[in-house]
Amino acid sequence: MGKEFDTGLMWFRRDLRTDDNAALYHALKRCNKVHCVFVFDKEILDALPRADRRVEFIRESLVELDMSIRELAKNKNAGLIIQHAWASDELPKLAQELKVQAVFTNHDYEPQAVHRDAVVLGKLAGLGIAFHTFKDHVIFERTEVLTQMGKPYGVFTPYKNACLKKLNDFYLKPYPVEKYTSSLTERPISYQRSVPTLAEIGFEATNLATLKIPTGMSGGRTLFEDFFDRMDDYHATRDFPAVKGPSYLGVHLRFGTVSIRKLAATAHQRTIVGSQGAAVWLSELIWRDFYFQILSNFPHAATGAFKPEYDAIKWEQGEHAKKLFTAWCEGKTGYPLVDAAMAQINQTGYMHNRLRMVVASFLVKDLGIDWRWGERYFAEHLNDFDQSANNGGWQWASSSGCDAQPYFRIFNPTSQSEKFDSEGKFIRKYLPQLSKLPNSAIHEPWDTKPIELQAANVTLGDSYPYPVVNHAQAREKTLLRYAVVKRH
């Protein structure tokens, strides 16, 4: 029986793997011949800093993806067609040039991507080329999980319960790509070139290799295998930044070098046999889905508060606000845990999840800065930046989002430090100027005896800043600032 299409085009985006890839599976199964393409999309890349770890991560992952395609095809002239252009222009042009009848790709839920895909759909339709898209990046998407009233969820716990009730082998089953790899075909001679260097697409090398962040499918696999041995303890270790507790798979989930189905299936199996750590980690994966469906079903949350009444809050403005924000960005607030966390993101592009909550709360509720300022900073600096999770996390911290912490819940940066980095190991790693302070002083240098500061070679206002705000006073100011919400 003949296949539906003679020639198809698989468009890789944030799914940089050959195993368990929904769109690749459907392309191979439904087409006699399949070309594979990745576009370094200028619409996205032109706005980024020239030294961006994410671009280098993608580039290194593409080298492995290209090799994997050639190995599966058993043909060195197969592999990726890689372009550097506006994807909305290049895809229809390439599809026409390759004489394909259909383009296959996986869903991307961010507003800019949704708009791009609508443009591509229109152009392909005008050329008589089909455009097929599939769920691959999440377990459940869009309106797959609804309330009994048929409405999208705005509260996490009932959403999670509904997901767990619905979760079964159908949603976790991998796509057997390997069965159909004979459809992978040679690239035209003009496209048989290697993955471009960073310089060739206008970027510079970063410290990605120095940080030893593993890339590609093999990197994701290595990290997951390492985490599997620690998964059962995840619930007990995940909140302590000096402990190896997290999976560190965020950037691999972001760019799809690991399969969400494989991760969720493993966590689900471990949960069934009673692993508390696996249950908590599965819950974190469901949080990720939750924020994706929020962005899909409540698009206003992408630019404003999920709860519109919170847009009435008056944030700090002017030069004073800019100085406070700069101090936060540079890790010079005078609160060691906050400053160490900002040093971590600035140096590595990663920030521990507990610390993301601490620094976000500090920016919004101690400094009185609009949460969108912090959201933009994270968007530029996080290796694993995902608009849905970033937006959801910042709105959670600012109490303006779905299922957010109450506005009167304000993290105390000192008590958070004492609780989650009691021995100051994390602080000392990222703030070496405080490394000689005793544990009793490292959380509050400003409240330390001068003789102790002198012994540790710490000079407040010089080697380490005084606090930019008094937390107790800032807390009272925040409660007044948020009082406007109660009047709505």
- pLDDT category at 2 given cuts 50, 70, 90 is confident
The gap from C-alpha 405 to its chain's centroid, in whole angstroms, comes to 21
Is the domain spanning 138-174+216-297 CATH 1.25.40.80? The answer is: yes
Active site residue 284: yes
- Of 11, 328, 373, 394, which is the active-site residue? 394
pLDDT at 488 over 70: no
- Give the mean model confidence (pLDDT) for residues 386-402: 95
Across 6-35, average pLDDT: 98
Distances (CA, A) of 4 to 29, 32, 106, 293, 415: 9, 8, 19, 32, 62
Query: Known catalytic residue: 353?
Result: yes
Task: State the pLDDT at residue 458.
Answer: 98
Each residue's pLDDT tens digit, 35-85: 999 999 999 999 999 999 999 999 999 999 999 999 999 999 999 999 999
The long-range contacts involving 461-470, CB below 8 angstroms and separated by at least 24 positions, are 463/433, 464/334, 464/431, 464/433, 464/434, 465/327, 465/332, 465/333, 465/334, 466/334, 467/333, 467/334, 467/335, 468/324, 468/327, 468/332, 468/333, 468/334, 468/367, 469/324, 469/333, 469/366, 469/367
Mean pLDDT in residue range 25-30: 98
Distance from chain centroid for Cα 330: 22
pLDDT beyond 70 at 487? no
Instruction: Pick the catalytic residue from 287, 328, 373, 396.
Output: 287
201 CB neighbour count, 10 Å cutoff = 16
Complete edge-to-edge strand list for the sheet that includes strand 5-12:
80-85, 31-41, 5-12, 102-106, 130-134
Catalytic residue among 32, 353, 412, 439: 353
CA 258 to chain centre: 13
Euclidean distance between CA atoms 34 and 189, whole angstroms: 15
Catalytic residue among 141, 186, 284, 452: 284
Please provide the average confidence, as pLDDT, over all residues in the chain. 97
**Confidence (pLDDT) at 408:** 87
In this prediction, residue 1 carries a pLDDT of 59
Q: What does the alpha-carbon distance between residue 252 and residue 369 come to, in Å, rounded to a whole number?
A: 31
pLDDT in tens, 225-251: 999 999 999 999 999 999 999 999 999
Q: Radius of gyration (Cα) for the chain, nearest Å? A: 24
**Amino acid 405: pLDDT:** 76
CATH class for the domain made up of 308-486: mainly alpha
Which residue among the candidates 371, 375, 383, 390 is catalytic per the annotation?
371
11 is catalytic: no
Within 8 A by CB and 6+ apart from 410, the residues are 361, 365, 366, 475, 478
Q: What is the mean pLDDT of residues 351-359?
A: 98
The residue from 141, 297, 315, 444 that is catalytic is: 315
Domain 1-136 has CATH 3.40.50.620: yes
pLDDT (tens digit, 9 = 90+) per residue, 419-458? 999 999 999 999 999 999 999 999 999 999 999 999 999 9
Is 56 among the residues known to form the active site?
Answer: no
394 among known catalytic residues:
yes
* pLDDT class of 13 with cuts at 50, 70, 90: very high
User: Where are the chain's structural domains?
Assistant: 1-136, 138-174+216-297, 308-486
The residue-averaged pLDDT of 380-403 equals 95
